[in-house]
Amino acid sequence: MTNKAKRKRRNIKMFIAAAAIFVVLVSILAYVSSQHAASREDSSQYFILSDPGAMGTSKNNGNMLIIKQFWFNITAVGGDAHEVTIFTDGMTDPTAYTFDEIKNGTSVYSGEISSSNGIPAYRTQGGYPVKVRIFCTEANGWITLVIPENATVSM
């Protein structure tokens, strides 16, 4: 076998070895990332939402509220929460409701969460339920916030 053929064979072996190492590293990173995402707690166990209020238009003899704006206090109860984001369907600016950190046991005001088209909420015995997604480094999930009838303002 000539030196040229030996070098070519060695280069092919080195390329295969480098590709195998790359595939192994990517697989390890994907696994670690999936384990971290799976290990997040459910937001309903990590946060308490309180003191809700809303502005909207009542429809169907008060059985439905088209919510244009709502707000609440959010308290971290599962530990310190980092990079907290509040989201719901129909939000006008989903990046506006973020917090760098909410300390365990501390309540913060969500801000007025607006919806350009309105969020339909149908009255139940407790008020008007709205699904709110809260995610952070430690938790992820949807929480149902019930806005009491006496905490709504007609527009």
Count the neighbouring beta carbons within 10 Å of the beta carbon of residue 149: 12
Per-residue pLDDT of 60-108, as tens digits, reads: 888 899 999 999 999 999 999 999 999 887 776 666 688 999 999 999 9
Strands 139-147 and 128-135, sheet pairing: antiparallel
Torsion-angle region of 112 (φ positive above 0: left; ψ -120 to 50: alpha; else: beta): beta
Q: What is the pLDDT of residue 138?
A: 93
Helix (H) or strand (E) holding 60: none
Instruction: Determine the number of helices (DSSP H) and then strands (DSSP E) in the chain.
Output: 2, 10
User: What single-letter DSSP state applies at residue 91?
Assistant: B
Instruction: Name the amino acid, one letter, at 114.
Output: S
Q: Is residue 89 within 8 Å of 144, Cβ to Cβ?
A: no
Q: What is the pLDDT of residue 154?
A: 66
Per-residue pLDDT of 6-33, as tens digits, reads: 787 888 888 888 888 888 777 777 766 6
pTM above 0.85, yes or no: no
Per-residue pLDDT of 104-143, as tens digits, reads: 999 999 988 888 888 999 999 889 999 999 989 999 999 9
Q: What is the pLDDT of residue 155?
A: 58
Q: What is the pLDDT of residue 16?
A: 86
